[in-house]
Amino acid sequence: MRKPKASLSITCAAAFVAALVSGSAVAQKGYPTKPVRFVSPFSPGGSTDILARLVGQQMNKLWSSPVIVENRPGAGGNIGAEVVAKAPPDGHVLLLSASSVAINPSLYSRMAFDTGKDLAPVGLVGTVPNILVVHPSVPVTTVKQLIALARKTPGALTYASGGSGTGSQLIAELFQHDTKVRFTHIPYKGSGPATTALLSGEAALAFNNMLAAKPHVESGRMRAIAVTSAARSAFLPNVPTIAESGVPGFEADSWYGVFTTGGSPREVVDTLSSTLNQILHMPDVRKRLDGLGVTPRKMTPPEFGAFVGAEMKKWEAVVKLSKAKVE
Q: What is the pTM (predicted TM-score) of this model? A: 0.80
Q: With bands split at pLDDT 50, 70 and 90, how would you rate the model's confidence at 30?
A: confident
Structural domain spans, the chain:
11-128+254-322, 130-245
Query: Phi/psi of residue 295, each to 5°?
Result: -100, 110
The string of pLDDT tens digits covering residues 32-58 is 999 999 999 988 887 889 999 999 999
CB 25 within 8 A of CB 130: no
Q: Do domains 11-128+254-322 and 130-245 have the same CATH topology?
A: yes
pLDDT of 17 above 50:
no
Q: Which fold has domain 11-128+254-322?
A: D-Maltodextrin-Binding Protein; domain 2 (3.40.190)
Q: Residue 173 and residue 152: Cα distance in Å, rounded? A: 18
pLDDT of 16 above 60:
no
- Cα distances from 287 to residues 46, 84, 241, 282, 299, in angstroms, run 18, 29, 24, 9, 20
Residues above pLDDT 90, as percent of the chain: 70
Q: With bands split at pLDDT 50, 70 and 90, how would you rate the model's confidence at 15?
A: low
Whole-number pLDDT of residue 4: 52
Of 260, 245, 298, 295, the residue nearest 276 (C-alpha): 298
pLDDT of 2 above 70:
no
The dihedral over CA atoms of 267, 270, 276, 280, expressed in degrees to the nearest 10, equals -150
Residues 175-189, mean pLDDT to the nearest whole number:
94
Which range has the worst mean pLDDT, 13-22, 63-72, 212-221, 248-257?
Answer: 13-22
Q: Identify the burial level of 308 via C-beta atoms within 10 angstroms of its C-beta, where 0-12 means exposed, 13-18 middle and 19 or more buried.
A: buried
The string of pLDDT tens digits covering residues 125-168 is 999 889 999 999 999 999 999 999 999 999 999 999 988 778 88
Whole-number pLDDT of residue 20: 44
Whole-number pLDDT of residue 22: 41
pLDDT of 99 above 80:
yes
Which CATH superfamily, name and number, covers 130-245? Periplasmic binding protein-like II (3.40.190.10)
- Average pLDDT, whole number, for the chain? 89
Q: Residue 38 and residue 212: Cα distance in Å, rounded? A: 25
CB 64 within 8 A of CB 120: no
The string of pLDDT tens digits covering residues 209-262 is 887 888 899 999 999 999 999 999 988 999 999 999 999 999 998 899 999 999
Q: With bands split at pLDDT 50, 70 and 90, how would you rate the model's confidence at 173?
A: very high
Whole-number pLDDT of residue 199: 96
The dihedral over CA atoms of 143, 145, 151, 156, expressed in degrees to the nearest 10, equals -90
